[in-house]
Structure 1
Amino acid sequence: MLQVLEIGADPAEVGRARRWARARLAGCGIGQDEPLAETVVLLISELVTNAVVHTGCPAVLRMLLPHPHSGAGTDAGTGAVRLEVDDASSRAPRPRHADGDDTNGRGLELVSGLADRWGWHRESGGKRIWCELGPATEA
Structure 2
Amino acid sequence: MQLEIRPDPAEVGRARRWARSRLAGSGITADEPLAETLILLVSELVTNAVVHTGRPAVLRLCLPGPAAEECPSATVRVEVTDRSSRAPVPRCADDDATGGRGLALVDCLADRWGWSPEGAGKSIWCELDRCSQPRQSAALACGGGLSAYGDLAFEAV
- Does the 8 Å CA contact 1:84/1:130 hold for their aligned counterparts? yes
- The Cα RMSD (Å) is 1.5
How many residues align? The count is: 130
> How many Å separate the matches in 2 of 1:15 and 1:94?
25
Residue 101 of structure 1 aligns to which amino acid in structure 2? D
Larger Rg: 2
Which of the numbers 56, 62, 70 marks the counterpart of 1:58? Answer: 56
How far apart in 1 are the matches of 2:77 and 2:68?
Answer: 16
Instruction: Provide structure 1 residue ranges, at least 5 long, that are not aligned to the other structure.
Output: none
Counterparts of 1:96 and 1:112 in 2: how far apart (Å)?
A: 14
CA positional deviation for 1:15: 0.2
CA shift in 2, pair 1:97/1:26, >3 Å: farther
Map of 1:109 onto structure 2: 104
The answer (yes or no) to whether the contact 1:66–1:76 under 8 Å persists in 2 is: no
Report the Cα distance in structure 2 between the residues aligned to 1:34 and 1:69, rounded to whole angstroms.
16
Larger deviation, residues 62-71 vs 51-60: 62-71
1:4 alignment counterpart: 2
Matches within 5 A, 1:6-25: 6-25=4-23
Deviation of 1:99 after TM superposition, in Å, equals 1.8
The 5-angstrom pairing of residues 69-108 of structure 1 reads 69-71=67-69, 76=71, 78-108=73-103
Which one has the bigger helix percentage? 2
Cα drift, residue 118 of structure 1: 0.5
Q: Deviations over 1:68-125 (max 9, x none)?
A: 2332xxx648521011100000000113342212101100000000001100000111
Unaligned runs of 5+ in 2: 131-157
Identity %: 68
Task: Report the equivalent of 1:119.
Answer: 114
User: For the residues of structure 2 that align with 1:66 and 1:76, how far apart are their CA atoms?
Assistant: 9
How do 1:29-68 and structure 2 match up within 5 A? 29-68=27-66
Give the Cα separation in 2 of the matches to 1:133 and 1:70.
14
**What is the TM-score normalised by the length of structure 1?**
0.88
Tell me how far apart the structure 2 counterparts of residues 78 and 61 of structure 1 sit (CA, whole Å). Answer: 23
- In structure 1, distance between residues paired with 2:43 and 2:37: 10
Map of 1:27 onto structure 2: 25
